[in-house]
Amino acid sequence: MNAFDLTEDQQDCLQELINVAMGQASDQLARYLDTFVYLKVPKIEQVKSEQLLVTLNQDLKATAVVSQGFFGYEGIRGEALLMYQPQDSNRLADLLGYEADELTFDEQIIDLSSILTTTFLNVFASQIDNQMSYSAPRLLSPNLGAVTQHLQQQAFNWDLALKVRISYQVTDYSFNCDMVLLIPEQAIINIKTVIDRILEEF
């Protein structure tokens, strides 16, 4: 067990915080998007930097990835990756309430990513008495080859990250995407401190 491993209690607590956040987030999204949004049970695991590419590729054959950084008090920070598959693209403008010709596909997934990420993380932050700020969402690349290339070219300055993967399903629009939160080393320690405090109060 290394310093970044979560104990069983810590893991349970984080899982519970995420579950509650997911519930509230899907409720807010449903009201905003006017359709049901299902969030599947999240997967929490540790990932080594050199394995990131492999695990992301296994997760899905993403064709577009939108990245958005988040940062709050007490050193809670990380990067959210929203991953899309090609068949997801057709009715996004519809879903978002825009006219199809009002915005490009790139703008649609960036807009949706931002909404999904910030909605979830805002609720999550309020659970731990925190508040998040966000960087502007960036489209990493419009196709898989380039995403893989992009990640391969990075010399990551982290070895280990906490990875939380949540799948979104909007059945009315037969649309799926995955949100992967990656929390780097120091931030894991900071999250563990917060979790320990919650466990104590509990």
Partner 1 sequence: MLDALYHNITNRLNTGILILDSDFNIVMWNRFLEVHANKKDNNVIGKSIFTVFPELPKKWFERKLSSVIQLKNQSFCGWEQRHHLFELSHSRPITTDSHFMAQNCTFLPVEVEGEVKHVCLLIEDVTDVCHYQTQLNKALEDLALSNRIDGLTQAFNRKHWEECLASEFSRARRYNYDLALVMLDLDQFKLLNDTFGHQGGDKVLIDTAKSVNDLLRMGDMFGRYGGEEFAVILPNTDLVGAEEVAERIRQTIASNTVDYQGRSINVTVSIGVAVIEAEDTRYEDLISNADIALYEAKSNGRNRVCLAKQCPTKETIVA
Which stretches of the chain bind partner 1, using CB under 8 A? Answer: 28, 31-32, 96-99, 102-104, 106-107, 110-111, 114-115, 118-119, 122, 134, 136-139
Q: Which is nearer to partner 1, 73 or 98 (CB)?
A: 98
Q: Where are the beta strands (DSSP E) in 99-202?
A: 132-134, 138-141, 160-170, 175-184
Q: Which is nearer to partner 1, 82 or 115 (CB)?
A: 115
What is 10-70 written as a DSSP string? HHHHHHHHHHHHHHHHHHHHHHHHTS--EEPPPEEEEEEGGGHHHHHHHH---SEEEEEEE
CB of 177 to partner 1, least distance (A): 17
Shortest CB 45 distance to partner 1, Å? 27
State in angstroms the smallest separation of the CB of 139 from partner 1.
Answer: 7
Q: Which residue, 120 or 175, has its beta carbon nearer to partner 1?
A: 120
Distance CA 201, CA 136 (A): 35
Nearer to partner 1, 12 or 106 (CB): 106
Minimal distance, residue 135 CB to partner 1, in Å: 9
The C-alpha angle with vertex 123 and arms to 195 and 104, in degrees rounded to 5, equals: 130
